[in-house]
Amino acid sequence: MHEATVRDLDLGHAEPRSLARSEGNVRVVVGITFVTMIAEIAAGLVSHSKALEADGWHMGTHAGAIGLAALAYAFARSRANDTRFTFGAGKVHALAAWTNAIVLLAAALWMVGASVWRLFSPVEVNVGEALPIAVFGLLVNVASAWLLKPGDLPETMMGHDHDHGHAHEHGHATATGPVAAHDDHDLNRKGAYLHVLMDMATSVTAILALIGVWAWRLDFLDPLMGMIGGAMVLRWGIGLLQEAGAQLLDVSPSSDELARVRTRLESIDDVRVADLHVWELGFGRRACMATVVTHSPREPALYRAAIREVIKVEHLTVEVHPCVNC
């Protein structure tokens, strides 16, 4: 039997300067968002604008979410070389995204409920006080989106191979050289970025509602837009919850990818794939474990290369078993 393992350190997902810049941007976003949250909630209470108040509270969940994202980055970085984490600490990003999704869902339900209540218990909205704050909140969201744009993170991430050869019936093989990570998004960043985009959407709905109240006295638009904003947050929050949950539960990224790996391996000699697993390690990194059976065993490097032709993985284990009585 042949066995070869390639493992990349979790620290290899980003250069230190890029990571520090991303964390710095996150801290700036937390600060300006917190200030905006206070301003919008205060203005919403004074002007009786439920749409603006809802946007302010959502800005608060956004500040907490971005703060949680910053903690996740720091945690993963500080434990990059901690051997207690078998596959690195990258899953903390998915955990942060999961938590953010729960917060988003709670905020969405509150926004919808409060807006429904206001629809049946209307109050006069002071547009002159609320509209400038709503516009200011939108500008803050645009600035936050710019700071957290995907381009702040590397499109590809290079790792370092650490080979562990184990002598077996047919010897062992090792490999060296950089391994490119696949370009799936970082769920932690996506969770934070979604908060910004959702805030932009709720800010727009608040502004439209206030304009409708000011121009045409359509008072019902304010709570209606609050409900629409809440529904948007609810939908996106559910999507993030499903995506983060799939990563935390080691769900295979794609059944199509599994099929392509299996087909590629079984195109070599008389190989049959006995076992195959692909899962997310976090921060756009994947692991793969494959066991193949064949009458003509070759060096594991051959099968490893075949797998890397189909998918990009960082931690790759290949076991080759000779076919006996089969």
Go through the chain and tell me how many residues it has: 326
Give helix then strand counts, H and E, for the chain: 8, 7
Lookup: tokens for 15: 């250069």
What's the pLDDT score for residue 184?
40
DSSP annotation string for 14-73:
S-HHHHHHHHHHHHHHHHHHHHHHHHHHHHHHHHT-HHHHHHHHHHHHHHHHHHHHHHHH
CA separation for the pair 137, 324 (Å, rounded): 69
- Give the residue, 21 or 259, on which the prediction is more confident: 259
Domains of the chain: 13-156+185-248 (1.20.1510.10)
Lookup: tokens for 143: 């600035």
Residue that has been written with the tokens 């200011």 in this structure = 136
Lookup: tokens for 30: 């937390």
What's the pLDDT score for residue 50?
67
Which of 119-123, 152-156, 192-196, 322-326 is predicted most confidently? 119-123
What's the pLDDT score for residue 287?
92
Q: Would residue 88 be called left, alpha or beta, if left means φ above 0 and alpha means ψ between -120 and 50 degrees?
A: left
Q: Are strands 315-322 and 285-294 parallel, antiparallel or unpaired?
A: parallel
CA separation for the pair 61, 199 (Å, rounded): 10
DSSP annotation string for 257-284:
HHHHHHHHHTTSTT-EEEEEEEEEEETT
Q: Would residue 250 be called left, alpha or beta, if left means φ above 0 and alpha means ψ between -120 and 50 degrees?
A: left
CA separation for the pair 212, 218 (Å, rounded): 6
CA separation for the pair 280, 30 (Å, rounded): 28
End-to-end CA distance of the chain: 16
What's the pLDDT score for residue 270?
94
What's the pLDDT score for residue 58?
66
- With a cut of 70, say whether residue 155 has pLDDT above it: no
- Give the residue, 309 or 11, on which the prediction is more confident: 309
Lookup: tokens for 129: 């006080």
Query: Tell me: the pLDDT tens digits for 33-47?
Result: 888 788 878 887 888
CA separation for the pair 290, 303 (Å, rounded): 9
What's the pLDDT score for residue 186?
59
What's the pLDDT score for residue 72?
82
Across the range 8-32, mean pLDDT stands at 58
Give the 3-state secondary structure of residue 159: strand
Across the range 225-231, mean pLDDT stands at 84
Residue 40 CB contacts under 8 Å (≥ 6 apart), including other chains: 52, 53, 55, 56, 59, 133, 134, 137
Nearest of 194, 229, 195 to residue 209 by alpha carbon: 229
